[in-house]
A and B are shown apart, each in its own frame.
Chain A
Amino acid sequence: MFKSNNVTARIFQRQICTPAPGTSIYSARRFYENIVPSCTIYDVECPDHSFRKFTEDGLYLISFSRNHQDLIVYRPRWPSFSCKEEDCDTHELPPKAKKFEGFFTELYSVSLATSGELICKDFFLYMENNQFGLFATSTAQIHDAPAVGGAVQGVPCVEKITFHLLRMEDGVVLDERVFWSDYVNLAHSMGVFLYDDLLAIVSLRYQRIHILQIRDSGNLVDVRTIGEFCREDDELFLYSSVQSMANPDKSKQLHQMTVNHAANGLHHDRPAGETSFLSGIKQRLLSFIYQGIWNEETDQTLRMQCLKKKFYFHFQDYVDLIIWKVQFLDRHHLLIKFGSVDGGVSRNADNHPAFFAVYNMETTEITAFYQNSTDELYLLFELFCDHFHVSGKNSLYMNFISTHSNNIHNLEQLKSNKNKASSLSQFVKKMLSSLPFSCQSQSPSPYFDQSLFRYDEKLISATDRHRQSTDHPIKFISRRQPNILKFKIKPGPEAGNTDTRSKKISSFLFHPFLPLALSVQQTLFLQPAVVNIHFRR
């Protein structure tokens, strides 16, 4: 669209040319080639907090205190200072402008964790249209907890996990949801998925998916719980059938038990081992698999052989599958990843078999079922990756993150990795291991747009993870003007690190639309982090 690389010429051209239909955001983004965060303030003096991320609308910077008890929220702003002399551009920034407070104003500090609890500083979800933030606090993990009340053996237990919903404007806690003696994978928000106003929380320990709705008033409302039961009235139906059983004593006993549990206020009130029913979702899954295998053959004998080989032989393995992770595909469909118990809690689940199922919450049917090495699912992933990265309809910037389905450079990289892979099924497994995606885990900053800039993905990328730090600056090279370096991001002190022995990790926080970024370099020991501010002067 733009003929020249000069920013003034581009502005003039923008006045008279309309972009092609549907490309107005991409055309506007080209201006980011001209406005880059090339100036760095090294080792800025800032409060010793763990800076987590910028919210997707760029209004807040979330950070947690070092003792994991408090939340501190800043508002990003631009430094302003005046220079009395004529040629100001060549001057160094005045010392007042080089401070952290010049870029960020503290809005408030809220104590979220009570004694015995710690804030999970890897967990933060933001609801853009209402400016609500979701945080989590938890008590310490109990290993080798006994599997009571329907819990899965082998999954750790946390005595109390609390989700706090805050109004980000003023830090008021609007609602809380507590999970007792449960386990939700809070690291990098993996066990929770936010889509629009729907929240899916996976209780690994009790194998339930809690669907909650965040109302505009700030209340967390239960919508449904998928696991033992699929439909809202399944539980009622089951208990009413149990109570009308032939043996009056037994039904009285069970009735007494349900009354006791109801009095305790527990939701999971069926004692373990009392019933031999598989959970609702497991039944749906097994019947779907059975039907699929049944329909493969028309001949009755071949059909039975097929079933024996593919279904009954693996029956116990299918029954032992547990839900690992969940994401929304739209308001009614969930993508659920199933696997073995060992894989669910280990950090590296690559060697464990995994399966994906698409579940329709309204009809309570399984729509599709794939193993993690199937080409079919990989083909869908390659073609329609954007539809796995669901973002709410209100979130503008999150829809423009570069993926291999919307960006030719990502696709070329993917294809070259595929050709270089020694085994296609290993490659497919590796690609599919990123599914289901964790929500809000990628930065919408245009500086990560692969059509604008080329950068080393091992050192920095849109995904907010800690990376190994290097002393060399990370280069962002223009795509359209090959080999022209646009800007560099260098974490750590300006002169480099004197101590080369200790391992350092860096994390990068990019503002969603301003040319402003923070790089935080820390060692693995409790030394204060080195924070640099990268901005456009």
Chain B
Amino acid sequence: MGSMLGDWPSFDPMNFSQLRPSDPSSPSRMTPVTYCPTHDRCQPPPNQVIASESRNILLRNMYKRTEDKLRSKRPASEILITDQGLKHPRTSTAESPF
């Protein structure tokens, strides 16, 4: 997707080429594509690419529940509570720099 400000003259030709609208419904609001970690406990892996999961959250939940059921014999309600309590480190979550 081309950047709206990508072609404007600027001191450094690489300026603004990384900008993308953060919110598709208001394309004038631009944020840089890079994401910065909000803590310094560990460094992000180099060349990490963050992309959104193609499957929506409802289907993800359904698949996860089915996989858990087919794997173990925990009752379904227990799986539900455990899911919501745990925080999984996901590479598909984007962290906002602000």
Contact = CB atoms under 8 A, between A and B. Distances in A.
Interface in B49-86: 55-59, 61-63, 65-66, 69-73, 76-77, 80
A40 B85 CA distance: 53
A298 interface: yes
Interface in A9-30: 18-19, 21-22, 24-25
Interface stretch (B5-13, B19-27, B39-47): B19-27
Contacts of A210: none
Contacts of A375: 77
Nearest to A375: B77
Size bin of chain B's contact surface: 20 to 34
Given A295-B70, A330-B56, A376 B80 contact: yes
B73 A380 contact: no
A289 to B, nearest CB: 12
B63 A384 contact: no
A19 B26 contact: yes
B29 A384 contact: no
Given A298-B73, A376-B76, A384 B57 contact: yes
Contacts of A368: 62-63, 65-66
A272 interface: no
Question: Is the contact region of chain B dominated by helix, strand, or loop, or is it mixed?
Answer: helix
Contacts of A376: 65, 76-77, 80
A380 B62 contact: yes
A379 B62 CA distance: 11
A291 B76 CA distance: 15
A74 to B, nearest CB: 29
Contact of A367 (B22, B25, B66): B66
Interface string A355-393: 000100000000110000001100110001001100000
Most A CB contacts (10 A, CB to CB) among B25, B63, B69 go to B25
Contact of A24 (B26, B61, B71): B26
A303 to B, nearest CB: 10
Contacts of B80: 376, 379
Interface in A288-307: 291-292, 295-298
Contacts of A297: 73
Interface residues of A, number: 26
Contacts of A25: 25
A376 B69 CA distance: 13
Contacts of B77: 375-376
A380 B58 contact: yes
Nearest to A296: B73
A384 B71 contact: no
Contacts of B66: 367-368
A479 interface: no
B69 A21 contact: no
A333 interface: yes
Given A329-B58, A380-B58, A387-B57, A367 B73 contact: no
B58 A21 contact: no
Contacts of B73: 295-298
B29 A21 contact: yes
A376 B29 CA distance: 39
A330 B55 CA distance: 8
B57 A24 contact: no
8 contacts: A18-B26, A18-B29, A330-B55, A330-B56, A368-B66, A379-B80, A380-B58, A387-B58
Interface of A: 18-19, 21-22, 24-25, 291-292, 295-298, 329-330, 333, 358, 367-368, 375-376, 379-380, 384, 387-388, 396
Given A368-B63, A368-B65, A396-B25, 15 more contacts: A18-B26, A18-B29, A21-B23, A24-B26, A292-B69, A295-B69, A295-B72, A296-B73, A329-B56, A330-B59, A333-B59, A368-B62, A375-B77, A376-B65, A380-B58
Interface of B: 22-23, 25-26, 29, 55-59, 61-63, 65-66, 69-73, 76-77, 80
